[in-house]
A and B are shown apart, each in its own frame.
Chain A
Amino acid sequence: MLHGLTLLLAYQLLGELLARLLGLPLPGPVIGLALLFASLIALGRVPEGLRSAADGLLRYLALLFVPAGVGIMAHHPRLEADAGAIGAALAVSTALALAVTAATFQRASAQRRRRAAEQEGRRGE
């Protein structure tokens, strides 16, 4: 658990360093995520301590949003001014994202299966 947490913090630190040094447009923790993902692929498994630290943090992920969410009280005037635009933008873009993602995946996945089945059929002849 302690090792896992240290590892997560070290990867975040590495991500922050790379973002600053190379002037990358990505947030440090996202670079840390990508680096850890690449390391796990190279290693081929998740070390036990890392898994328990990750599980612990991700189980309470929702709680971690709360302090920043309360910050919305500081944006009260802006929210009032832009309420209509924000509401419409959120509702329409969320429905669109759901539709585009699900439809694209379902179509591409069905196509892949069909092609695989055709190849299977040809081999059977």
Chain B
Amino acid sequence: MGSELQDIWAFLAESPLLGLTATLAAFSAGQWLWRGLGRSPLAHPVLLAIGLLIAFLAATGTDYETYFEGAQFVHFLLGPATVALAVPLFDQLPRIREQLLPITAAVILGSVSAALSAVLIGAALGASRETLLSLAPKSVTSPIAMGITERLGGLPSLTAGLVLTTGALGCLLAPLVFRLLRIRDEAARGLALGLAAHGFGTAQAFTIGPLAGAFAGLGLGLAGLVTALFAPLLAPLLGA
């Protein structure tokens, strides 16, 4: 009986089905837990799902490569999802045209200060080169951020973790920053949330109002473009 179970487990552990099912199940569980915990940004469903999966893999002694055999089918969709961001961006076209100058100035200054300050602080505190290269795109939505890191020669999966942490931090810090600087403009709040905290920030901006949500989607998309163009300029500074 015991060996039969072992045979079944050996089959399951080798098949991509297990990694794929576990990913979807962990995400559903994460969403359920998040609602139960009062939708706190610190208990974001993605962070909960990742924690559950790491615990599951550690408990069953499965390594990341085996898990990823199955999970890659979900991961692959990040590419088309990035391309799909063109649709909400197009929906904001009239607002983009109307506020072109304020948006351009805010997005360029915001994206550059996010990437530059992260890399400089990391370097000052003695982080390794791969860590610094993986830090540069941390404010950008993961599909874009991981593409940038790959191009820079950093570690895409490390960037994914840093991006998720940044999203949760941004949602926590935003109300404080807005109160300190007396930011009352709903569009300004949304743009900043989308730029600094990507998808997490965009979700939070929609709770402020539809205008903030729309500008957050805009901030998310444009920050991706600006950082993708700007980040390669940082690499030579790091001795690449």
Q: Is the CB of A98 within 8 A of B193?
A: yes
User: How near does chain B come to A62, taking the closest CB pair, in angstroms?
Assistant: 5
Q: Does B15 contact A (CB under 8 A)?
A: no
Q: Is the CB of B158 within 8 A of A75?
A: yes
- Chain A: which residue is nearest B30 at the CB level? A66
- Mask, B109-139, CB within 8 Å of A = 1, is 1110111011101100111101100010011
Q: Is the CB of B197 within 8 A of A94?
A: yes
Q: Which of A33, A62, A79 contacts B46 (CB 8 A)?
A: A62
**Could you list which residues of chain B lie within 8 angstroms of chain A, going by C-beta atoms?**
19, 23-24, 26-27, 44-47, 49-50, 53-54, 57-58, 64, 67-68, 71-72, 74-75, 77-91, 93, 99, 101-103, 105-107, 109-111, 113-115, 117-119, 121-122, 125-128, 130-131, 135, 138-139, 141-144, 146-148, 150-151, 155-158, 160-166, 169-170, 173-174, 177-178, 180-181, 183-185, 187-189, 191-193, 195-197, 199, 219, 221, 224-225, 228-229, 232
24 A/B residue pairs, CB under 8 Å, sorted by A: A12-B79, A27-B146, A30-B224, A30-B228, A33-B224, A36-B87, A55-B87, A64-B78, A66-B46, A67-B74, A68-B160, A72-B54, A82-B131, A85-B131, A89-B117, A91-B169, A94-B170, A96-B114, A97-B114, A98-B177, A101-B196, A108-B105, A109-B185, A112-B101
